[in-house]
Amino acid sequence: MGEERFGEFVLVRRHGEGDGGTGEGTVAELVLDRPKAMNAVSTEMARSVAAACASLGGDEGVRVVVVTSTHERAFCVGADLKERNSFSDAELLRQRPVARGAYTGVLELPVPTIAAVHGFALGGGFELALSCDLIVADRTAVVGLPEVSVGVIPGGGGTQLLPRRVGAARAAELIFSARRVEAEEAHRLGLVDQLVDAGEDRAEALALAGRIAANSPVGLRAAKRALRVGQGLDLRAGLEVEDAAWRAVAFSGDRAEGVAAFNERRSPRWPPAV
């Protein structure tokens, strides 16, 4: 397992060494590693998350990214309000693009992404999870967007990503009330996708990532693009987005290998990324 650090607070782990196309070695783990602050997102940490995402997004060998935490009781508690308390208005304005870069970095990763959530995932921490395609949470998870309780609004995509998950009215209730939602209710409402026993979120997220990574690299990227770009479009426009993504895959080496493997009753050996 290879490791690379991005600044002091973010670590990227690459699992396995690669095995000729079956998916091993193609799962990257983006680790939030600021345990003394429960992974509160400071300016430095935001830059590091964005840098790690840029590196992973440009790596054609990566098929799935899993976002995890080193803190035992928190995924991420959101923005570093102690740092923010020292900012002038001008400093806060200058910091805004840096903060946004962390969330858009995760959101715009071209491969499937999974958040492994335990403990607190609040404010910007929950927005990091919402920026992923799937959220695996354990039974200790507590999620929410409490920003209006401290005089701001969600600024990492929460007002746009949450209603896409749970509908406009449910999102409004959660954002306006600023309430925290515990794991069982979060799963029932669709705030998280999979609920596992305490301490199992990372292991299950990595196992799910491994199953996803065994599939066509070209197909995974095209399917994510179709899902993301088509979201919110009318049906006719969405079908055009899907058709464009289908054409990107249909004449690829992955399609030829996938069909051959199916007919030969063997596991596919996906062509190397180019």
Locus of tokens 């999979």: 194
The secondary structure of 183-220 as a DSSP string is HHHHHHHTSSSEEE-TT-HHHHHHHHHHHHHTS-HHHH
**For residue 247, what are its two tokens?**
């054409």
Q: Which of 116, 123, 127, 205 is catalytic?
A: 127
Q: Which of 79, 115, 137, 171 is catalytic?
A: 79
The secondary structure of 44-90 as a DSSP string is HHHHHHHHHHHHHHT-TT--EEEEEES-TTEEE--B-HHHHHT--HH
Nearest to 191 by CA among 126, 139, 140, 128: 126
Cβ(121)–Cβ(78) under 8 Å? no
Nearest to 105 by CA among 12, 24, 27: 12
For the question of residue 124 being annotated catalytic, the response is yes
For the question of residue 185 being annotated catalytic, the response is no
Cβ(20)–Cβ(38) under 8 Å? no
Q: Which of 78, 105, 124, 158 is catalytic?
A: 124
Taking CA atoms, 138 is separated from 37, 174, 235, in Å, by 21, 20, 35
For the question of residue 127 being annotated catalytic, the response is yes
The enclosing H or E element of 94 equals helix 89-107
Q: Just list the catalytic residues.
A: 79, 124, 127, 147
